[in-house]
Amino acid sequence: MPEDAEAIAAFGYELGLLKRVRRTGWWHAGVRDPESVAEHTMRTAQLAALIAAEEGADPARAAFLALWHDTQETRTGDLPHTATAYLNKPDPRQITADQTERLPTRHGRTSEPRPAAESPKPQRPCLPWRGANGDVRLGPGTRGFMSGWI
C-alpha cells in the first residue's frame, strides 16, 4: 500500500474510534448509556448548519468545523469539566497536528496553523447565548428557526 494511502487509512481508523468513546459528562448527570462522541459530533454538525443558515453564515463551513471539533478525543478520551482543575488540558491543535502529520497535504493538512485573525467572527450572537449577567438568552432569528428547512 502506498504511504499516502496507508496514512489516510490509519487516520480513518482512528476517527472510527469516536463511535466507541462515550461522553463522560452524561455519566455525571446519571445517564446510563450516554451518546458517543461520534453521535454528538453528528448532531453538533447538523445543528451548526441549521443555526448558521438562520444567522446568515455559511452552513457548510459551520458543519465542517463542528464535524472536526472533537477528533482529538480519540487520543485523550472525553475529559469531563470536573477534571479540569486536576489536569493540564492538552492543546487540541497539537493533538490534531500529531494526528494528521502523516497525511498528504492535498487532504487538507497544512504546515502552518490558521491565524486567529482569519477565523470568522459571528456578526451577532448565535442561538442560544449567555447575556452579560450569565443568563441564557435566545438571540435574533429565534422565531421561524426551522422555517424553510422542513
pLDDT on residue 118: 47
Measured distance CA(96)–CA(72) in Å, rounded = 6
- 66: confidence class by pLDDT, cuts 50, 70, 90: very high
- Mean pLDDT estimate for the chain: 77
Residue pair 78/24 in contact (Cβ under 8 Å)? The answer is yes
Model pTM above 0.75: no
Query: Does residue 28 register a pLDDT over 90?
Result: no
